[in-house]
Amino acid sequence: MSSEASAPLSDQAAPGLLLRLSATVGAVATGLVVTSAVLELGTAHWGIVGVALPFLVADVVIARLSYPALVGRMAAALVLLLVAVALGGVVAWSGSARWAVAVHVLAAAVALGAALVALAGALRGRPAPLASARDYVTLTKPRIMTLLLLTGAAGMFVGAEGLPALDLFVVTMVGLGLACGGASALNHVLDRDIDQLMGSRTRNRPVASGRVTPAQALEFGLVLSALSFALLASAVNLLTATLALVGNLFYVVVYTRYLKRSTPQNIVIGGAAGAVPPVVGYAAATGSLGLPALWLFLIVFLWTPPHFWALALMIKKAYATAGIPMLPVVRGDHETARQILLYSIGLVAFTLAVGLWLGPVYTVSALVLGAVLVALAVLLRRDLSIARARVLFHYSLAYLALLFAAAAIDPLLT
């Protein structure tokens, strides 16, 4: 893995189409930064900066990993825009003195020149053709995204204490979906080696099978992530955009890159990434964080280990072949089933305690759904068959979806 990580992800001389798109957006946005600075548009000016920066960052990362010859150009465009942003602070400090404004605008203009130079480098040569639309959709892991969006939507309903504004809801869900899809695409890039070892379930994935190159998947994931941050920061609020980005980075860098391959506690710690969407939804609805956001986060955090350990019991041999230290591989089926039961009991107890804040509809749902979850965990403890693990795994998906639906419905009925 270390040799793969140090080598460029692409052997294509010409940058890919998605890097070209990202560089184009970065250059156009930087041009609008200059224009808005000249016109002294204030808030709009800084909003445009928030759109330009994530794309320029994505360009640097893509170049660093796939097209080393472009790193200098991409980094220069990013650094010069950051310098211009810093000089914006000088403008505020000076009380918008003419000299400070002039220096700020000049720095932004220089950054625009660098962005155009970077764009010219990205446009050279003939890029490799894009893969099929179906493969790109697969990269986003739509089934997982659906559950993440549901928990994010519930967070919005809880934060709004009822129906959130429709336009805010739609924009937030789109932005969160882009963040989730981007993280999933980057997961495909990092896991391409073990996906090839884990049997038919993963071997046919777009990157592992070679239908999408690692460089193409990297570009796709980073462009989606940049779009997410730009959209959420400009149309929702900076806190929401930052939380979505933190969840993205935790899943890709902390869980996928390190924890998954190094410790049987990978999914316990890594579960924090999947617990971020309801917090994102709450922040979008309120513009802040509060205890209800923490409760929703902890519900998903506690749910994740029994859910994934049930899956790990089903495909233990595949994880062992790939050298992934999932709990069944390291400590055996009996200990895994015991941990599933303990976490399930703890999860249900916590969800019932949270009912004091979330309301009666949610509490009744938590009691009924939780009783079934614990019963299935008890049955798995007695019968370690793959069939039992499969039932628990699939029920756990329904459990979380229905529990969060109840949390969203509760403020509408009480």
Render pLDDT for 389-410 as a digit per residue (tens, 0 to 9).
999 999 999 999 999 999 999 8
Residue with tokens 């790939």: 322
Give yes or no for residue 106 having a pLDDT over 50: yes
Does residue 13 register a pLDDT over 80? no
What pLDDT, on the 0 to 100 scale, is given for residue 10? 58
Do 138 and 85 share a structural domain? Answer: no
On whether residue 360 sits in a domain, the answer given is yes
For residue 270, what are the domain limits?
Answer: 133-413
Q: Which of 74, 96, 122 is the last residue of a domain?
A: 122
Same domain, yes or no: 118 and 149: no
- Looking at residue 180, what is its pLDDT? 95
Residue 39 has pLDDT above 80, yes or no: no
Quick one: 288 exposed, middle or buried, by C-beta within 10 A (0-12, 13-18, 19+)?
A: exposed
Residue 345: what pLDDT?
96
User: Do residues 274 and 230 both lie within one domain?
Assistant: yes
Residue 73 shares a structural domain with residue 140: no
What local confidence, expressed as pLDDT, does residue 271 receive? 86
pLDDT at residue 175 above 70?
yes
Q: Dump the DSSP string for 48-99.
A: HHHHHHHHHHHHHHHHHHH-GGGHHHHHHHHHHHHHHHHHHHHHHHTTS-HH
Contact 66, 215 (CB under 8 A): yes
C-beta separation of 325 from 263 below 8 A: yes
pLDDT at residue 5 in the model: 45
Q: Does 262 lie in the same domain as 178?
A: yes
Section 135-141 average pLDDT: 94
Tell me if the pTM is above 0.75: yes
> Where residue 1 falls among pLDDT bands split at 50, 70, 90?
very low
**Is residue 179's pLDDT more than 60?**
yes
- 162 and 36 assigned to the same domain: no
Question: Is 127 domain-assigned?
Answer: no
User: Does residue 24 fall inside a structural domain?
Assistant: yes
The pLDDT of residue 8 is 64
Percent above pLDDT 70 for the chain: 96
The stretch 361-383 carries a mean pLDDT of 95
Note whether 186 and 262 are same-domain residues: yes
Q: What is the DSSP letter of 302?
A: H
Domain boundary among 58, 91, 122: 122
User: Cα-Cα-Cα-Cα dihedral of 283, 288, 291, 296, to 10°?
Assistant: 10
Of the CA atoms within 13 Å of residue 148, those in its CB half-sphere come to 30
Q: Are residues 326 and 403 in the same domain?
A: yes
**12 confidence band (pLDDT: 50, 70, 90):** low
Q: Which of 98, 122, 146 is the last residue of a domain?
A: 122
Q: Are residues 112 and 213 in the same domain?
A: no
What CA–CA distance (Å, rounded) separates 376 from 396? 10
Report d(CA 31, CA 13) in Å as an integer: 28
- What is the percent of the chain with per-residue pLDDT over 90, rounded to a whole number? 57
Q: Report yes or no: 306 and 388 within 8 Å, Cβ to Cβ.
A: no
